[in-house]
Structure 1
Amino acid sequence: MTTEQQPTRTERLDRLPVTPKHKRLLLGSGLGWALDAMDVGLVSFIIAALAAQWELDKSTTSWIASVGFIGMAIGASLGGLLADKIGRRQVFAATLLVYGLATGASALAWSVASLMVFRFFVGLGLGAELPVASTLVSEFSPRKVRGRMVVWLEAFWAVGWIFAAVIGTFVVTQGDSGWRWGFALGAVPALYAIYVRMGLPESVRFLESKGRHAEAEAIVRSFEAEADPSQYDTATAPREEPVRGGIWGPDLRRRTAAFWVVWFCVSLAYYGAFIWIPSLLVEQGFSLVRSFAFTLVITLAQLPGYAAAAWLIEVWGRRTTLAVFLAGSAVSAFVYGMATAEWQIIAAGCLLSFFNLGAWGALYAIGPELYPTAVRATGTGAGAAFGRIGSILAPLIVPPVLALGGSPAVFGLFAAAFALACAAAFTLPEQRGVALG
């Protein structure tokens, strides 16, 4: 006589429909994500204002942007390692607190040097938070919609960037202290961190890996209590075979290398373009207010880009969706570099926003699925950390490339980076419908 094998806790999570508890998790993580984006977006507007007020050259403004990305590179690596050691939730809350307080302190900066110190700590917290949040959401999401939920998490980035554009347009431009008020508004995450620490569940997979089975069982049951049993997914999910070694072990090294290439190229092109667009528009002769208004319109196109990626990622799969949106980003970047008339700048900018941010959504969905639980946050954090090297370089390389070949050369370089990322994306494994290891 045989007895039917009971499903594991992770299998029970995988077969659930989307419950109100899933939605609260997505909203709680997403609001933190949006606040992160608001902070990063504010820098693009503030450096344009500071360049005029403090009479800064392009090299100095480049370093104000890049020092934050140096912090992000360190934070992404450390955050992933800590999340695999002490838990996703604790690291998520701590990073929100660090960068929220540092953003508030940035409003009090009295010199370029002090501002750069504060921006480094902002980046430290921000870099650690992003891969940890995507890992947490991915580990709780039902298998059938896991990719879609992570893309919707990433879509909160557009919400935050839109808020940054609104603050830039209507606050930063209001007098010499406008940029200080912009940073002060970015300190909201410090308060939000308290809610995050209290309200979000810890990863079940993490708890099991640490032998905390009673806590893991209680969390799974809390999700099941809100689910309609008639909507359970009863299909058998394929599961990855056990892997040897860490993220550079024999079973993972190829996907790690491709993942890092995509991260580097997308970070280089995205941050190079969107950090500099307001300043480049000012240089083209548009007023500060008009340049910020153009950027606000361009930013709005991020939302339909995320929506399209969220739908396609469960239809086409992760790899194809990522590659198509990267190809669209490459074409859009090239077209933007050639644009001269106002309508051309706005149209090309909107296309770049649409495709680039859709690609970001797919990239964040792919990352946690590439690695088993023991190294999942480490793997996603390491990829993000390597990508931040691209974001560090991006603001620094724009001035010399701009001097050599103007806007066409700058955006031609970004188009090439997107094309390389597209090629690397095709070498990643397709993980749609695969149960997380």
Structure 2
Amino acid sequence: MDLSGYQRCFPSSQIGTTMLSHAQAPASEMTIDSAPLNSFHKRLTLFSSGGPFLDGYILAIIGIALVQVIPAWQMNDWWNGLIGASALIGVFLGGLIFGNLTDKIGRKLMYTIDLMAIIVFSIAQFFVQDPWQLFVLRLLIGIAVGADYPIATALVAEFVPKNWRARLLGGLNAMWFVGATVAAFVGYWLLSLQDGWRWMLLSSAVPAILILIARATIPESPHWLVGKGRHQEALDILKKTIGEGATLEGITAHDPNAAKLSTAKAFKLVLTGGYLHRVIFISIFWTCTIVTLFSIYAFGPQILALFNLQSGDEANIGYGLINLFFLVGNVVALLVVDKLGRRPVLIWGFILSGIGLLFLALFPTAPLGLIALAFAFYAIFNGGPSILEWIYPNELFPTKVRATAVGLCTGTSRIGAAIGTFATPLALTHLGLSGTMWIAAGIALLGAAVSFFMAPETKGQNLEEAAALHA
């Protein structure tokens, strides 16, 4: 057992007696932070990653589906951008509304409701006949996905050991790229079918059903239960999930009035004092990370065609390979984030990915090999900011408003992403490829600047330490 982590779980007045008695304590005695990683933690993380997987799948599949939908419905740039951005608008609403509801009624119940909604709306997409119908359904799917983010990430943050928290939370975001990669190859396969786009959009119901079944075995968060005064129930869950020697040490007994915290008061707490500074920081860096990312995913085949990659098989295969580069970048960032720290991984990730976009802006007609290399450079180094989308929000806010804060930050980041996704086809038409890439590079470098001045370092801290406001 890591003694330094064990000491931090106790108030200072107990440190002396705790250290003296530690050698006599049963070897199996443990807290959430000091527990070894076990099969339950891995299962929880895998099942929780279903939300990010579906988000990546849903957004990437529309980029390929639009290749068939646009000529079939003779859609203009307005509807093209609106449908591409519809799920992002929904994520904004879902995160904003259901993050707070998750803090009120618990993580477990919301953990399954949102998936049921994704299944129903995904199936309904198969039958749409007009652009407005597709827009509405993708908006509703986005709301359900936005609800899942604060639910699933809060559960992982509140269950896993301290030394594994960053890697497992960051791993959730990596699954976004797994979902997008799978969607790229599924979409490529289904393009050969007449009205293959309908099957593409329907296909998101399949993983959603599997994830829904798997999540039935996941219990409520002990942190949330303690915050509601349900200590025995929390202890029973810990004994089942991390071992019979589990204790509630290290879980702060939150304000007993937290259970009665109104929606208005929850948002007020998140938007006041030092927490407002954190909301602003997270919202800006998250927005800067995903504006360019989501635009490339929503319109990847169209963008690649402009880079001398002809539309059709060549562009779609290139689209799938870019997805793999994004995934590689996430894996590399996960391996170094606990060694290098949150700040350097975030700041240098923005700088280096921005350089890749800058090359594309300066040399849009460069040889195909250099274009591919620049895209790979951007995709790989975007992994740093990407994995921190889930690490920072869950570490920087207390349990009683964690899901509210994560939902708020998710929602605000999606406003910019939705605007960027909606504007991408318009920008490509009116500013050209080079002008669009200049804007993308500027957004990445803005993220680096904001992170340099605002990003805190939470490496090595437990949840209570990371969320604490310091004078």
TM-based fold match above 0.5 = yes
Q: Following superposition of structure 1 onto structure 2, how do residues 283-298 of structure 1 map, counting pairs within 5 Å?
A: 283=306, 286-298=310-322
In the alignment, is residue 429 of structure 1 matched against residue 453 of structure 2? no
In the alignment, is residue 334 of structure 1 matched against residue 352 of structure 2? no
Which of 68, 80, 86 lines up with 1:61 in the alignment?
80
The answer on whether the counterparts of 1:90 and 1:197 sit within 8 Å (CA) in structure 2 is: no
In the alignment, is residue 15 of structure 1 matched against residue 28 of structure 2? no
The answer on whether the counterparts of 2:302 and 2:311 sit within 8 Å (CA) in structure 1 is: no
Name structure 2 gaps, 5 residues minimum. 1-13, 23-28, 256-265, 465-471
When residues 218 and 23 of structure 1 are mapped into structure 2, their CA distance, relative to the original with a 3 A threshold, is: same
1:27 paired residue number: 46
Q: Following superposition of structure 1 onto structure 2, how do residues 166-205 of structure 1 map, counting pairs within 5 Å?
A: 166-171=185-190, 173-192=191-210, 194-205=212-223
CA–CA separation in structure 2 for the residues paired with 1:288 and 1:97 = 34
2:6 paired residue number: none
CA–CA separation in structure 2 for the residues paired with 1:401 and 1:37 = 23
Which of 74, 98, 101 lines up with 1:79 in the alignment?
98
Q: Deviation per CA, 1:408-430, whole angstroms, max 9, x where unpaired?
A: 11111111111111222231221
Give SS of 1:315's match. Answer: helix
1:351 paired residue number: 377
Give SS of 1:252's match. Answer: helix
1:416 paired residue number: 442
| CA positional deviation for 1:31 | 3.2
Q: What is the count of residue pairs matched by the alignment?
A: 423
Matched to 1:307, the amino acid is: V
When residues 349 and 150 of structure 1 are mapped into structure 2, their CA distance, relative to the original with a 3 A threshold, is: same
The answer on whether the counterparts of 2:288 and 2:446 sit within 8 Å (CA) in structure 1 is: yes
| CA positional deviation for 1:178 | 0.6
| CA positional deviation for 1:303 | 2.2
In the alignment, is residue 274 of structure 1 matched against residue 297 of structure 2? yes
When residues 280 and 379 of structure 1 are mapped into structure 2, their CA distance, relative to the original with a 3 A threshold, is: same
CA–CA separation in structure 1 for the residues paired with 2:177 and 2:356 = 18
Give SS of 1:260's match. Answer: helix
CA–CA separation in structure 2 for the residues paired with 1:332 and 1:285 = 18
Name the stretch that deviates more: 261-270 or 339-348: 339-348
1:110 paired residue number: 129
Give SS of 2:462's match. Answer: coil
Which of 41, 52, 63 lines up with 2:60 in the alignment?
41
CA–CA separation in structure 2 for the residues paired with 1:350 and 1:23 = 30
Give SS of 1:13's match. Answer: coil
In the alignment, is residue 162 of structure 1 matched against residue 181 of structure 2? yes
CA–CA separation in structure 1 for the residues paired with 2:393 and 2:68 = 36
Matched to 1:386, the amino acid is: T
CA–CA separation in structure 2 for the residues paired with 1:68 and 1:35 = 12
Query: Identity of paired residues, percent?
Result: 27
Matched to 1:256, the amino acid is: V
2:395 paired residue number: 369
In the alignment, is residue 315 of structure 1 matched against residue 334 of structure 2? no
Scaled by the length of structure 1, the TM-score of the pair is 0.90
Name structure 1 gaps, 5 residues minimum. 230-235
CA–CA separation in structure 1 for the residues paired with 2:111 and 2:343 = 27
Computed over aligned residues only, the root mean square deviation of the Cα atoms, in angstroms, reads 2.6
Matched to 2:301, the amino acid is: P
The answer on whether the counterparts of 1:246 and 1:252 sit within 8 Å (CA) in structure 2 is: yes
The answer on whether the counterparts of 1:32 and 1:192 sit within 8 Å (CA) in structure 2 is: no
Q: Deviation per CA, 1:254-294, whole angstroms, max 9, x where unpaired?
A: 12211111122223222122222212234556132221111
The answer on whether the counterparts of 1:103 and 1:186 sit within 8 Å (CA) in structure 2 is: yes
The answer on whether the counterparts of 1:44 and 1:275 sit within 8 Å (CA) in structure 2 is: yes
When residues 263 and 285 of structure 1 are mapped into structure 2, their CA distance, relative to the original with a 3 A threshold, is: closer
When residues 328 and 285 of structure 1 are mapped into structure 2, their CA distance, relative to the original with a 3 A threshold, is: closer
2:327 paired residue number: 303
| CA positional deviation for 1:377 | 0.9
In the alignment, is residue 153 of structure 1 matched against residue 172 of structure 2? yes
CA–CA separation in structure 2 for the residues paired with 1:58 and 1:211 = 53
Q: Following superposition of structure 1 onto structure 2, how do residues 111-126 of structure 1 map, counting pairs within 5 Å?
A: 111-126=130-145
When residues 15 and 285 of structure 1 are mapped into structure 2, their CA distance, relative to the original with a 3 A threshold, is: closer
| CA positional deviation for 1:11 | 7.7
1:232 paired residue number: none
Q: Deviation per CA, 1:366-401, whole angstroms, max 9, x where unpaired?
A: 110010111111111101100010121012222332
CA–CA separation in structure 2 for the residues paired with 1:274 and 1:80 = 25
Give SS of 2:49's match. Answer: helix
When residues 357 and 168 of structure 1 are mapped into structure 2, their CA distance, relative to the original with a 3 A threshold, is: farther
Scaled by the length of structure 2, the TM-score of the pair is 0.84
In the alignment, is residue 249 of structure 1 matched against residue 290 of structure 2? no
CA–CA separation in structure 2 for the residues paired with 1:79 and 1:406 = 39
When residues 309 and 391 of structure 1 are mapped into structure 2, their CA distance, relative to the original with a 3 A threshold, is: same
